[in-house]
Amino acid sequence: MLLDVRGIEAGYGPIKALDGVSITVDEGELVAIIGANGAGKTTLLMAISGIVRPRRGEVTFQGQSLAGLPPHEIVRLGIGHSPEGRRIFPRLTVRENLELGGFTQTDRVQVRRDIDEACSLFPILGDRMGQLGGTLSGGEQQMLALARALVGRPKLLLLDEPSLGLAPLIVAKIFEVIAGLAGRGIAVMLVEQNARAALRLASRGYVLETGRVTLTGSGADLAADPRVRDAYLGG
């Protein structure tokens, strides 16, 4: 087992966003997390990556507890996080954004190779190396956010709403890359508003409702479940 989340509670002040959530991710697996806005999906990813500290429960990665570790140490262990809203550095160039993705790596030659490999997935980034991140289109910024996370050589990649607000052709390209990550030995936890597409890609999935896991199963089983179809797939 790569990631084991056991009974975590987390929130913001008096608000409890996660209430006893337990999930697992195996090596090379793509796990989808679906649910309505406010269900706790983003908080779950932030609790794993150390941005939000769980109040109770435990998160272990490759058998090591992540309790108390700052986010940069969690990245160093092999967990990448591409957040909702892309969060690129708009005043840095594409190249500089990508170089920051490899900040935990000591071999700078390897970082350059990793940047080249990331750009092979999104060739348009290679044509935009000297361009400021903030001048890219929304789709190009999402590609940059995903490529930056991959330069960090993650074993597990947390993806938060990668298709949000993007044109269908760009969404198709993003999902094509995500689908191929398992072949690169990268497990994925995918939070995605397009539940149908997420479950189509996923080997397993979880449904979050008001901070709790209410359903789990294979991607195909969840997509066929009438409760999921009615609530998230348009019937």
Q: Which residue has the tokens 């790569």?
A: 2
| CATH code where residue 207 lies | 3.40.50.300
72: pLDDT strictly greater than 80? yes
DSSP tally for the chain: helices H, then strands E: 10, 10
Q: What percent of the chain has pLDDT over 90?
A: 86
Within-domain flag for 169: no
Within-domain flag for 176: no
Within-domain flag for 211: yes
**145 plus 158 within the same structural domain:** no
**232 plus 158 within the same structural domain:** yes
**35 plus 144 within the same structural domain:** no
For residues 206-230, average pLDDT: 96
Output DSSP code: residue 19. E
**62 plus 89 within the same structural domain:** no
**64 plus 158 within the same structural domain:** yes
pLDDT tens-digit map of 110-165: 899 999 999 999 999 999 999 999 999 999 999 999 999 999 899 999 999 999 88
Q: Into how many domains does the chain fold? A: 2
Q: Look at residue 74 and give its three-state secondary structure.
A: helix
**73 plus 107 within the same structural domain:** no
Within-domain flag for 179: no
Its domain, for residue 103, covers 85-153
Give the H or E element holding residue 57. Answer: strand 56-61
**142 plus 158 within the same structural domain:** no
Q: What is the pTM of this model?
A: 0.92
Question: How does residue 11 score in pLDDT terms, banded at 50, 70 and 90?
Answer: very high
**Residue-level pLDDT at 132:** 97
Q: Which of 99, 133, 153 is the last residue of a domain?
A: 153
Question: How does residue 89 score in pLDDT terms, banded at 50, 70 and 90?
Answer: very high
**Residue-level pLDDT at 85:** 79
Q: Which of 153, 176, 204 is the last residue of a domain?
A: 153
Residue ranges of alpha helices (H) inside 51-185 are 71-77, 94-101, 108-121, 123-126, 138-151, 168-179
**Residue-level pLDDT at 165:** 84
**Residue-level pLDDT at 235:** 56
201: pLDDT strictly greater than 80? yes
Question: How does residue 184 score in pLDDT terms, banded at 50, 70 and 90?
Answer: confident
**74 plus 106 within the same structural domain:** no
Which is more confidently placed, 8 or 106? 8
Name 79's bridge partners: 156
**93 plus 129 within the same structural domain:** yes
Q: What percent of the chain has pLDDT over 70?
A: 100
In order of 17, 120, 184, the CA distances from 203 in angstroms are: 26, 26, 16
**148 plus 158 within the same structural domain:** no
Question: Mean pLDDT for the chain?
Answer: 94
202: pLDDT strictly greater than 90? yes
